[in-house]
Amino acid sequence: MNIQNLELTNFGSYRGTHKFDFSTSTGRMGYAIFGEIGRGKTTLINSLLWALYGEVETSVELEGRIYTKKRPIIDSAQTQNDFSKKWNLPLLNFAAYEEKDYTMSVSIKFEHKGSTFHLLREAKSRTPRPRKNSDIAVQPHLSIDGRTVSAQLIQPEIEEIIPQKISKFFFVEVDSIKSYSALLFAGESSGGIVEDIEAILGMPALEHSKNDFVWLSEYQQKSIESIQTTDKRNKSILRTLEGIDKRIASIRTDIGLIGKDIDKQTKRIGEIDLELEEHPSAEEQLDRLKRAKENKSRLETTLKDSYVRRRSLISKDAWKILLQPKISHLSSHYSELRKKKELKSKTLTELELSCNHAEIEINKGGAECKVCGNISEGLSKKEREAKADDLITNRQIAVDLKAEIELFGTPEHDLVSLSSFRDSRDSSQIETLEDLVSRTTMDLFDTKEKIKLINVELEKADVLKVRELQAEKIACIELRGSLKDERKAASRAESDAVEERVKTASNLKTDETATPAMTKLTKTKKIADWLTNTFDKTLSTYKKNARISVEKLATEAWLSMTPEPEKYRGVKINERWQTEVLSSNGKSLPIGNPGHRQTLAVCIFDGLRKTSGRKFPTFYDNPGSNISDVVLQKMAKHFWDNTDDQIVMLSHGGGLKKQNTMDLYGNKLAKAWELSYSSENTTTSVKEVIQ
Amino acid sequence: MKLDFQVGTSKKAHKVMGKLAGRTDDDKAPKNEKAPFEKMSDAYLFGLVLGLSKGQKVDSISNRINYANFSSIEGDLDIYSMIKLFGDKDDFTNKDTIKNAIEAYATWGLLHIDENYDYGDDDYRLAEIFTNE
């Protein structure tokens, strides 16, 4: 399949009609689309998928789990401008919706096996103001070489060209790489991945052919047995065979009935999904209500805890914080008083000492002082009288000083007392808690208001119906699971019975004078058995070869993408399609890094894509943010070097830059476009940069 | 010096003290979870220190209600020293002046909190009391 042109109208960020003309006379198969994140590159891929299969899936990783949803065309929340929790945004361009232009379409012209295909898928509103997906009617149109294909045959035609399951391997983009890398490294590969991989390798078709030969062999066997019934020696064996046949028939009837029941449940699940889409707002409101109630409960707990912690802080000695400014002031005051008191006390001591000397001199006319040991000289009477006068004055001064000192009180003790009230804490913790209380109270108020609003919305919505549908869906899924188990058990019983039948039938005796018809039947049966066995062996060999081919191609890709190829021997894939990387000495290496895992998933994609032999353009978008720039560059080179079929590289400001792409791969480019925001708003504007 | 006497406050301040400790008019009702104090005695002590630290006390206590023996409020604290250090000189002349000062400071503090830090809806915000005053 080679795309000739792609035309989008009001799809995602593309407002109005935009055309990408892929036709070229250069013989080059490379195309590049440049543009920063959010400018519409991935939307372009999505438009192609929507045109082909009528649906676009998107996924998000939440708390380590990958959730996948189909994107609606219209979402009622869009009318309320509530995109806060939405990751599966509607496909219809927002501006178009606001301007009441409810038509959306994607048209692809492509060549496939010498024929020209024109596929158009368009969405139109059934109502003047659509609010939900069911208000939109989607209609595909397909013509092959100008002949219109009837509506029922459009999807089978597309599936013939590129089955939806296989298409994902041609789109190297972060969502599918992420989910595939998770599956490739799961402890036990799920049936899903093996099924997908076998689909890309065309194995279901081979299985189908093998089953035809099994049927042929059984048919021949029955014919042989019908002749053998005439031989009396076989009477008892034939009775046994009859019993086994009845058992097999009964088991097969059961398997058929179980299969029908499984289909019934699958159909009902699909119907419920459609019905649930009719009530998107109720379903979403219930989800929002649940989240809001959880948030309310969390906020209430935070609030309660904050009050408890604040109470504990305030009740326990917080009053000390109040005293601290005064303590600093009082501390200087008492220190000053203590200094003054000490000074006065010193003066008093000196005065008392001098009075003591004077008294000795007056009484003894000069003698050794018993206090200080000084020896005073002898004094005359006149001198002693003068000294006595001074002594009386000094004694009075000392009494006054003592009284003054008394008035100072005990500042030294006060300073000690004061220190017992000192505290280094401040009020910051209380402030923080009260801030938290204020913020939480406001949030709680908002949340309560939100709950009120949601409840008002819910009153309008048919909540009971949604709950009933959800419960029924769960029951259907569970029932389908147990039916599948039942079918497996029945299939095992069928195989056992068939084996028993073959063993029993081998004891049948054939008349020596067998008719030529018998000989012919035996020969035909032998051929059918041989074909069955050959198909079995071929299928097994093909599976093995396909796995080896993917392994070889993935190894080539891995070695061309990794910065240190000498450290690796290659990629190893086991029968369950579990993947590992081998070191140069053949030891299995731990691939714990998400970037490594995503790179390996890209390599497996590459191997599967090439092994499938399908002709379809490869779209190379951002393969994952965990992959380093060096690996991204090498990866891009790997894809550019393999441009036998159309390859569309989506280059952005991250790993793959415009200038770099132009410099390195300009000679491989047939055409390139640059996507940007239009001057008025954030809708996509397209400019062809290489023609 | 341990202060072993009955202290009280005005009827209005007593009600504030109850509110601050989460008491409601209905004795059987659960305590208000938003209350800033565990016990009334914690609120009384905080009011007293607030008055003391600001040097503010009420002139008189109207409709005085005996609240508790001061030793139950004081606990291991040396309130006598606190009054001596942070109060007026006249406050610690004798036991009576100390008692009167305690009641006047605490009453002022409790009423001040109620007038300035009541956030409404049975809630108080006290963080600013430590910085604004």
pLDDT at A514: 62
Q: Is A463 exposed, middle or buried (0-12, 13-18, 19+ CB in 10 A)?
A: middle
Residue A606 structure tokens: 């590459």
pLDDT at A188: 44
- Split at pLDDT 50, 70, 90, the class of A277 is low
Taking only the tens place, the pLDDT of each residue in A317-350 is 889 999 998 898 899 999 999 999 999 999 999 9
Taking only the tens place, the pLDDT of each residue in A208-261 is 777 888 888 888 888 887 777 777 778 888 889 889 989 999 999 999 999 899
A1 three-class SS: coil
Interface of B with A in 111-130 (CB under 8 A): 125-127, 129-130
B4 three-class SS: coil
Give the chain B residue nearest A426 (alpha carbons): B130
For the segment A31-42, the average pLDDT, to the nearest whole number, is: 86
Q: Which carries the bigger pLDDT value, residue A240 or residue A175?
A: A240
The pTM is what?
A: 0.51
Contact partners, residue A228, CB within 8 Å, separation at least 6:
A234, A238, A508, A509, A510
ipTM higher than 0.95? Answer: no
Domain ranges within chain A, ordered by starting residue:
318-425
Largest CA distance in chain B: 44
Instruction: Tell me whether residues A310 and B36 touch, CB distance under 8 A.
Output: yes
Contact partners, residue A103, CB within 8 Å, separation at least 6:
A9, A10, A96, A122, A123, A124, A125
For the segment A112-124, the average pLDDT, to the nearest whole number, is: 94
Residues of B whose CB is below 8 A from A433 = 127
Q: How far is A319 from chain B (nearest CA, A)?
A: 5
- A189: pLDDT strictly greater than 50: no
Instruction: Tell me whether residues A314 and B126 touch, CB distance under 8 A.
Output: yes
Q: How far is B37 from chain A (nearest CA, A)?
A: 5
Contact partners, residue A226, CB within 8 Å, separation at least 6:
none
Q: How far is A36 from chain B (nearest CA, A)?
A: 49
Pick A307's closest partner by Cβ from B34, B53, B131. B34
| Average model confidence (pLDDT) across chain A | 84
Number of Cβ pairs < 8 A linking chain A and chain B: 72
Q: How far apart are CA B132 and CA A511, in angstroms?
A: 117
Pick A434's closest partner by Cβ from B37, B48, B127. B127
pLDDT at A307: 95
- Provide DSSP, B32-79: PTT-S-SSHHHHHHHHHHHHHHHT---S--TTEEEEEEHHHHHTT--H
Instruction: Tell me whether residues A312 and B38 touch, CB distance under 8 A.
Output: yes
Interface test with A, best of B49, B73, B121 (most A CBs within 10 A): B49
pLDDT at A187: 47
Number of residues that make up chain A: 691
Q: By mean pLDDT, which of A325-334, A567-576, A580-589, A614-623 is the weakest?
A: A614-623
Beta bridge partners of A683: none
CB distance A135 to A37 below 8 Å = no
Q: Report which DSSP code applies to A585.
A: T
A575 three-class SS: coil
Asked if the C-beta of B56 comes within 8 angstroms of chain A's C-beta atoms, the answer is no
Instruction: Tell me whether residues B126 and A319 touch, CB distance under 8 A.
Output: no
Interface test with A, best of B126, B131, B132, B133 (most A CBs within 10 A): B126
What beta strand segments (E) does A406-479 contain? none
Residue A414 structure tokens: 């006060």
Q: By mean pLDDT, which of A21-35, A586-600, B57-71 is the weakest?
A: A586-600
Q: Which carries the bigger pLDDT value, residue A295 or residue A201?
A: A295
- A186: pLDDT strictly greater than 60: no
